[in-house]
């Protein structure tokens, strides 16, 4: 909360002999300070592109949460159900135009096996958002913890953590993911099936992605540790743990929030890329990346099958990026 310029005599001159205005009245609001969050929210509300992107993200999250109910409403709740009566036995392509789009199959059917595309896109959204969000949270948790420690304490601790970041940044993550998928069986670490593959993807993407968040947090912490309020806390005898949690972390929320919003779409693309290469979610579980991989073979005769999962990825990634850009501009003190 910002302070009101001037002293008590100035206030007395402004209001004369009258008492200070009651909170909530127009007169009080005219002199009331605003927090950084309030200022950022007022800026964000004026950004129509960011607000539209935020609405799209909210809709996508609701779709992912209620995907089974939405799929049931279309009459095709099972993503692996095959509608072979709608597949041409001669060409193995869906009957009708545009990939078999009809009132029963609003986005058509998959070639050859005849699975409903809409159902698989809906349920695939749960996988993509679950993996991307969980991996982002894991990256942020590790990056924030090590970044704050490195930035606040400095010295050999900062040097050690910074070198660890460099090692992780140089790590061939894609090759490691391909190798790990090849050596890990369908039963490992007390898990199996989709649970194992989802956990592996979250670990690979999240654990090896933390240095990016770590560098951002480290840089912000180095700038903040020289500020007056941190020096004042030290003079008053506050311990490092209290300074980090009570003084530094509240001032790191804005850059962390912005980076986290931009990290999720990057992880969505990475998960889709791994599934496209065959090391992500295993069939027959629906996945946007795997759908793209399957559609490559039929893009000439059934382009809709390729366009639909591609459009789902594009809209999701674009919405998160635009909203992240809007958040960054809203929290930037130099934004107009």
Let me know if residue 19 belongs to a domain.
no
Cross-strand pairs, 191 = 188
- State pLDDT tens for residues 54-96: 999 999 999 999 998 988 888 787 888 888 888 878 888 888 7
The mean pLDDT of 271-280, rounded to a whole number, is 81
- State pLDDT tens for residues 302-324: 888 889 999 999 999 999 999 98
Let me know if residue 76 belongs to a domain.
yes
pLDDT score of 322: 92
pLDDT score of 95: 81
Let me know if residue 168 belongs to a domain.
yes
Judge whether residue 263 has pLDDT over 60: yes
pLDDT score of 1: 41
Judge whether residue 17 has pLDDT over 70: no
Residue 188 belongs to domain with CATH number: 1.10.3720.10
Let me know if residue 277 belongs to a domain.
yes
Q: What stretch of H or E contains 191? A: strand 191-192
The mean pLDDT of 253-260, rounded to a whole number, is 88
Let me know if residue 41 belongs to a domain.
no
Band (286; pLDDT cuts 50, 70, 90): confident
142-146, 190-194, 239-243: which has the minimum mean pLDDT? 190-194
10-14, 49-53, 62-66, 119-123: which has the minimum mean pLDDT? 10-14
Band (106; pLDDT cuts 50, 70, 90): confident
Judge whether residue 150 has pLDDT over 90: yes
Closest of 240, 247, 250, 232 to residue 150, by C-alpha: 240
At 218, list the tokens.
């480290």
Judge whether residue 5 has pLDDT over 60: no
SS3 115: strand
- State pLDDT tens for residues 120-138: 999 999 988 999 999 999 9
SS3 187: strand
At 331, list the tokens.
């929290």
Let me know if residue 15 belongs to a domain.
no
Judge whether residue 162 has pLDDT over 60: yes
- State pLDDT tens for residues 163-210: 999 999 888 888 887 777 667 767 766 777 778 888 888 988 999 889
Domains contained in the chain, number: 1
pLDDT score of 29: 54
At 24, list the tokens.
């909530």
Judge whether residue 11 has pLDDT over 80: no
Let me know if residue 20 belongs to a domain.
no
Residue 333, C-beta contacts closer than 8 angstroms, at least 6 positions apart = none
Range of the domain at 102: 50-331
Closest of 255, 253, 233 to residue 243, by C-alpha: 233
Judge whether residue 146 has pLDDT over 60: yes
Band (330; pLDDT cuts 50, 70, 90): confident
At 208, list the tokens.
């090896």
At 179, list the tokens.
């190798």
| The most confident of 43-52, 66-75, 208-217, 249-258, by mean pLDDT | 208-217
SS3 87: strand
Question: Would the pTM count as exceeding 0.85?
Answer: no
Judge whether residue 333 has pLDDT over 80: no
Share of the chain above pLDDT 70, in %: 86
At 283, list the tokens.
């069939």
Band (335; pLDDT cuts 50, 70, 90): very low
Average pLDDT, the chain: 82
Let me know if residue 163 belongs to a domain.
yes
pLDDT score of 77: 79
């Amino acid at each position: 909360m910002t302070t009101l310029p001037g002293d008590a005599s100035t206030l007395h001159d402004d209001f004369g002999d009258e008492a200070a205005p009651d909170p909530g009245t127009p007169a009080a609001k005219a002199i009331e300070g605003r927090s950084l969050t309030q200022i950022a929210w007022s800026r964000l509300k004026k950004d129509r592109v960011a607000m539209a992107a935020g609405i799209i993200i909210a809709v996508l999250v609701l779709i992912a949460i209620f995907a089974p109910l939405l799929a049931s409403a279309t009459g095709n709740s099972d993503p692996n159900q095959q509608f072979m009566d709608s597949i041409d036995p001669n060409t193995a392509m869906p009957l009708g135009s545009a990939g078999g789009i009809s009132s029963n199959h609003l986005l058509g059917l998959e070639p050859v096996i005849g699975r409903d595309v809409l159902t698989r896109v809906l349920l695939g959204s749960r996988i993509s958002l679950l993996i991307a969000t969980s991996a982002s949270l894991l990256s942020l948790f590790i990056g924030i913890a090590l970044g704050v420690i490195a930035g606040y304490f400095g010295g050999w601790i900062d040097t050690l953590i910074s070198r660890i970041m460099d090692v992780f940044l140089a790590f061939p993550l894609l090759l490691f993911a391909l190798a790990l998928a090849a050596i890990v069986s369908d039963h490992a670490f007390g898990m199996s099936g989709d649970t194992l593959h989802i956990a592996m993807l979250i670990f690979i993407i999240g654990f090896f992605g933390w240095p990016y968040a770590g560098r951002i947090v480290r840089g912000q912490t180095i700038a903040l540790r020289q500020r007056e309020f941190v020096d004042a806390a030290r003079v008053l005898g506050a311990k490092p743990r209290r300074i980090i949690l009570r003084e530094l972390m509240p001032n790191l929320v804005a850059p962390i929030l912005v980076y986290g919003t931009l990290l999720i779409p990057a992880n969505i693309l990475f998960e889709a890329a791994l599934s496209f290469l065959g090391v992500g979610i295993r069939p027959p579980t629906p996945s946007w990346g795997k759908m793209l991989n399957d559609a490559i073979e039929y893009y000439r005769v059934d382009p809709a099958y390729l366009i639909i999962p591609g459009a789902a990825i594009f809209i999701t990634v674009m919405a998160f990026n635009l909203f992240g850009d809007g958040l960054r501009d809203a929290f930037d003190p130099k934004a107009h």
